Amino acid sequence: MIVRWLATLAAALAAVPAAAETVAITGARILTAGPAGAIENGTVVIRDGRIAAVGGGLAPPPGARIVDGRGGIVTPGFIQPDSTLGAVEVSQVPASADRASHAARMSAAFDISLGLNPDSILLPVARLAGITRAVTTPLYDDRPDRPLLFAGQAAVIDLAQRPQMVTRPRAAMVLEMGEGGAARAGGARGAAIVALRTLLEDVRFFARQRALYDRGEGRPQALSRADLEALVPVAEGRMPLIVKVDRASDIVEMIAFAREERLRIVIDGGVEGWRVADEIARAGVAVIVDPVANLPRSFSEIGASLENAARLHAAGVTVLLKAGSGVAHRARELRYGAGNAVAHGLPHEAALAALTINPARIFGVDDRLGSVEPGKQADLVLWSGDPFEPLSQPRAVFIDGIEQPLTARTLELRDRYMP
Amino acid sequence: MRAPVGLALLWALAACAAQDRPEVAASPAPLRAGQDPAAAPDPYASTYRPGPSERIAIVGATILTGTGEAIENGTVLIADGRIEAVGRDVAVPEGHARIDGRGRWVTPGIIDPHSHLGVWSQPDSVEAQNDVNELTDPNTAQVWAEHSLWPQDPGFDAAREAGVTTLMILPGSGNLFGGRTVTVRNVPAVTMQAMRFPGAPAGLKVACGENPKRVYGGRGRSPATRMGNVAGYRRAWIEAADYQRRWDRWRDGAGAGDPPRRDLQLDTLAGVLRGEILVHNHCYRADEMAIMIDVAREFGFRIRAFHHSSEAYKIAPLLAREQICAVTWTNWWGYKMEVFDAIEENAAIVDAAGGCAAIHSDDPLVVQRLNQEAAAALSAGRRAGLDISEGEAIRWITANPARILGIDDRTGTLEPGKAADVVLWSASPFSIYALAQTVWIDGARMFDRGRPGGAHSSDFLVGQAGQEAR
């Protein structure tokens, strides 16, 4: 088994171009998502997997492989937040999915970065839509006997289909409040908030008194040791807490709660966020928005609006965009979602930031990813035109400076049946 | 209301027969109201009345007619609820208000051939709003989607704002026979009848594959397998033919003896055998579609369209030969085994084989972006090297769904005499930035972006939070 795995690994390594290759993409319009903004007729030089230089009228270094970017647009690779890429193959085949745990003593400790599948056929499909990284985020697997608050810990991954695919493990904790949180806490929002507060007290007590806990002394704890340990960085404000809420009042409530408890939260969903945009902006909280979620799908989403992303941005909120309700198979709709947000008032460059530098910053990888800047890892996409337009397609995709094949199982199936 | 009319008719016919030809009964004496399926074939008839039609000329736009043509700098004339003229050199008659179409695009109204709006309404996380799947028996051909339809579903308004003028609403796919479909005009209404598309044929939802076998296999009942599914269809068609024969025999005997007892389930199936009700078959896999084609041949009926049909691209020539349309998405795939092989190029490959392809939503959000789904399908087709124009691709969401729904003589293209179902777009509908600016249904302006009062909102949202600035 191990021999076979090693053989596969060796074959995979042999198949990809060397990371050390020097490449220059020339003559393209470069949307950097960084301080340089848009660069016309620009060149990006990739060396040793990193961006060595970027600018207008740069001469490519001698020996560099030239990728003709004329007529095209270069963007940073997109980062899909709130996805389950790498953790699912077929949604309705449980054995092919590792997105959720229903173990009774395993909630916050569930670490999705362990057991991901770099061979997933979803990764090349998403890559063909310009996605080079994703924030793989645990889901809930509710059972009647498991009213647990936390879904687990999310990880930043890459889509290069290599054995080591985790960019940053345990990048954030995932918690649903509002209707979902209330249901898991016995049926009321007031119960969920009290439960959460109590758990955080337990976590802080545990962090101070680990020895006491291990001797079986101290106070009784609702959570397992692993769960308590996983929550320590959340309680100490070191790990962001992704809070799924939609109703305006729930958003305000969670902002106040986070302030009191000194938590770093990120709002996920935030369907009615536009109604409390100023409060969100003042608190410096980022929001992950599904830009096409405009229907009152629950009594927490009555104010759903296609202008949510635009209004949050206008109020000064850091906006991240997601697609397809977090369904991994629909990751490729991310760029279309950005286009829809633009059609409803979000500036184009803000939409690009919402797919690149904003998620990089929120999930702690902006020192190395999220923009076309010298020194950063070379996650780049050369597009045939405006990346948000369905009629545009990627001409080249790089992850860590390695050009990715523009193939996928779906395209191989297509070729079998082409007329 | 109905009983007195029926009795009066009974009396009149009886009187006629008695006076003129007492020895020959030309037709059986009418049965009591509701007992003879042929007596009142449309009991929940449409009360739809078009709004006041405008008399307008949209001038200078790029027009995708839905016939495959693209006309640049063209003119569309609308009057009396109909398309009067379409073309590059169309003079604007006196009395037509001019609408500046320069830089904008005009298409026929978008038609969604697969929707559950109104039968699984917003807020759709609330169980009480779910009336889509009568999961009590694998054969529920007796239920009609229109009897679940709630006109106040806010999804109808959102779809109209995206250019959708007509939809077919279907029951769900948990049963082998899910029930009758209903085609509706996307107009604000208080009753279902006021939305029903006048004269549109009814459909029957049939479902293949995983859903029925999962639902009933999970209950220890048939069908628990795909072969159980097929046995279930065949048994039902045998019963339907027998039922039709009993009615025919009774009618041939001029109503002598006891009439057959009316059976709502078999009424629907017999309507298919008579060719009056169109079969809409939820079916993903190529091999299952091929079996369903043979089932239809075995029992002498036709399948109008395969819905979802993710593997239509594998049997595109067969579908073209059989003249069965493939209704599909572009972006959905992989959520279960039978949709593992779905590809973005599905519609384009069916089209290239000379078949009839259409894009559907099956979803309250996707219905608002059928033009974008078509754009993604077009883009994938071009990536594969297929030469497809925008004029051809727009047919996937206009003319072809009209054909699938059996209303292509009335809508689906911009041709003189057809209903003035028209969308004026801010840009090419194949651009992600295009917004439907104005939507006409039968020549009446049903949506006008940005104009105060230009958009309708459901009763459900009245007086609720956040509506002032949505």
Residue in chain B lying closest to A411 (CA)? B343
Residues of chain B contacting A410 with CB distance shorter than 8 Å: 333, 342-344
Residue in chain A lying closest to B340 (CA)? A90
Residues of chain A contacting B376 with CB distance shorter than 8 Å: 336, 390
The 10s digit of each residue's pLDDT in A378-390 is 999 999 999 999 9
Q: Which residues of chain A have pLDDT under 50?
A: 1-17
pLDDT for B404: 98
- Those of residues 85-114 in B touching chain A at CB distance below 8 A are none
Structure tokens at B142: 């007796």
User: Distance between CA A30 and CA A297 in Å, rounded?
Assistant: 39
Residues of chain A contacting B365 with CB distance shorter than 8 Å: 292-295
Residues of chain A contacting B340 with CB distance shorter than 8 Å: 90
Kindly list the distances between the CA atom of residue B141 and the CA atoms of B44, B168, B279, in Å, as whole numbers in the listed order.
17, 17, 11
Q: Is residue B291 part of a domain?
A: yes
Identity of residue A334 = L
Residues of chain B contacting A308 with CB distance shorter than 8 Å: none
Residues of chain B contacting A343 with CB distance shorter than 8 Å: 432-435
A250 in contact with B, Cβ within 8 Å: no
**Nearest-by-Cβ selection for A297 from B124, B375, B376:** B124
Domain total in chain B: 1
Is residue A408 within 8 A of residue A125, CB to CB? The reply is yes
Residue in chain B lying closest to A303 (CA)? B466
Residue B135 belongs to a domain with what CATH number?
A: 3.20.20.140
Structure tokens at A232: 């320590």
Kindly list the distances between the CA atom of residue B329 and the CA atoms of B19, B68, B413, in Å, as whole numbers in the listed order.
62, 21, 21
- Element spanning B180, H or E: strand B177-185
pLDDT for B28: 66
Q: Phi, psi at residue A350, to the nearest 5°?
A: -70, -35
Q: What is the DSSP letter of B304?
A: E
Is residue B417 within 8 A of residue B82, CB to CB? The reply is yes
Mutate to test the interface with B, among A84, A88, A92, A348 (most CBs of B within 10 A): A92
Is residue A401 within 8 A of residue A50, CB to CB? The reply is yes
Nearest CA to CA, how far is B154 from chain A (Å)?
Answer: 7
User: Distance between CA A37 and CA B67 in Å, rounded?
Assistant: 44
Task: Please state the three-class secondary structure of B390-454 as a single string.
Answer: HHHHHHHHCHHHHHHHCCCCCCCCCCCCCECCEEEECCCCCCCCCCEEEEEECCEEEEECCCCCC
pLDDT for A19: 57
B435 in contact with A, Cβ within 8 Å: yes
Q: Is residue B47 part of a domain?
A: no
pLDDT for A278: 98
**Bridge partner list, A269:** A245
B431 in contact with A, Cβ within 8 Å: yes
A96 in contact with B, Cβ within 8 Å: no
**Nearest-by-Cβ selection for A419 from B126, B343, B349:** B349
- Indicate yes or no: CB of B316 within 8 angstroms of CB of A302: no
Per-residue confidence in pLDDT tens, chain B, 470 aa: 333 333 333 333 333 333 444 444 456 678 999 999 999 889 999 999 999 999 999 999 999 999 999 999 999 999 999 999 999 999 999 999 999 999 999 999 999 999 999 999 999 999 999 999 999 999 999 999 999 999 999 999 999 999 999 999 999 999 999 999 999 999 999 999 999 999 999 999 999 999 999 999 999 999 999 999 999 999 999 999 999 999 999 999 887 889 999 999 999 999 999 999 999 999 999 999 999 999 999 999 999 999 999 999 999 999 999 999 999 999 999 999 999 999 999 999 999 999 999 999 999 999 999 999 999 999 999 999 999 999 999 999 999 999 999 999 999 999 999 999 999 999 999 999 999 999 999 999 999 999 999 999 999 999 999 997 77
Q: Is residue B246 part of a domain?
A: yes
User: Distance between CA B269 and CA A63 in Å, rounded?
Assistant: 72
Reported ipTM: 0.94
Q: Is residue B238 part of a domain?
A: yes
Q: Left, alpha or beta for A108 (phi > 0: left; psi -120 to 50: alpha)?
A: alpha
Residues of chain A contacting B357 with CB distance shorter than 8 Å: none
Structure tokens at B99: 């609408």
- Indicate yes or no: CB of B336 within 8 angstroms of CB of A413: no
Is residue A409 within 8 A of residue A124, CB to CB? The reply is yes
- Indicate yes or no: CB of A390 within 8 angstroms of CB of B433: no
B321 in contact with A, Cβ within 8 Å: no
| Other Cβ atoms closer than 10 A to B199 | 13
Residue in chain B lying closest to A298 (CA)? B123
User: Distance between CA A210 and CA A419 in Å, rounded?
Assistant: 67
Residue in chain B lying closest to A389 (CA)? B432
User: Distance between CA B248 and CA B136 in Å, rounded?
Assistant: 30
Residue in chain A lying closest to B468 (CA)? A303
Q: What is the DSSP letter of A225?
A: H
Is residue B182 within 8 A of residue B169, CB to CB? The reply is yes
| Bond preceding residue B123 cis, omega within 30 of 0 | yes
Structure tokens at A273: 């966020």
Q: Measured in whole angstroms, how far is the alpha carbon of residue A188 from the centre of its chain?
A: 29
| Other Cβ atoms closer than 10 A to B276 | 12
B438 in contact with A, Cβ within 8 Å: no
| Neighbouring residues of B37: CB distance < 8 A, sequence distance ≥ 6 | B247, B262, B267, B270
Q: Is residue B223 part of a domain?
A: yes
pLDDT for A69: 98
- Those of residues 225-244 in A touching chain B at CB distance below 8 A are none
pLDDT for A410: 98
A248 in contact with B, Cβ within 8 Å: yes
**Nearest-by-Cβ selection for A329 from B126, B334, B375:** B334
- Those of residues 325-384 in A touching chain B at CB distance below 8 A are 327, 329-330, 332-333, 336, 339-340, 342-343
Nearest CA to CA, how far is A42 from chain B (Å)?
Answer: 26
The CA-based angle B238-B241-B243, given to 5 degrees, is: 110
- What range defines the domain where residue B218 resides? 109-412
pLDDT for B320: 98
- Indicate yes or no: CB of B461 within 8 angstroms of CB of A302: yes
Structure tokens at B73: 């700098």
Residue in chain B lying closest to A276 (CA)? B466
Residues of chain B contacting A92 with CB distance shorter than 8 Å: 335-337
B331 in contact with A, Cβ within 8 Å: yes
Kindly list the distances between the CA atom of residue A346 and the CA atoms of A316, A319, A351, in Å, as whole numbers in the listed order.
12, 10, 6
> How deeply is B290 buried, as exposed, middle or buried, from its count of CB atoms within 10 A (0-12, 13-18, 19+)?
middle
User: Distance between CA A174 and CA A151 in Å, rounded?
Assistant: 5
User: Distance between CA B349 and CA B344 in Å, rounded?
Assistant: 10
Is residue B122 within 8 A of residue B176, CB to CB? The reply is no
Q: Is residue B335 part of a domain?
A: yes
Residue in chain A lying closest to B364 (CA)? A295
pLDDT for A145: 62
Q: Measured in whole angstroms, how far is the alpha carbon of residue A321 from the centre of its chain?
A: 9
User: Distance between CA A219 and CA B312 in Å, rounded?
Assistant: 62
Q: Is residue B64 part of a domain?
A: no
Q: Is residue B10 part of a domain?
A: no
User: DSSP for B334-353?
Assistant: -SSGGGTT--TTHHHHHHHT
| Neighbouring residues of A260: CB distance < 8 A, sequence distance ≥ 6 | none
B44 in contact with A, Cβ within 8 Å: no
- Indicate yes or no: CB of A275 within 8 angstroms of CB of B465: yes
- Indicate yes or no: CB of B313 within 8 angstroms of CB of A327: no
User: Distance between CA A292 and CA A296 in Å, rounded?
Assistant: 12
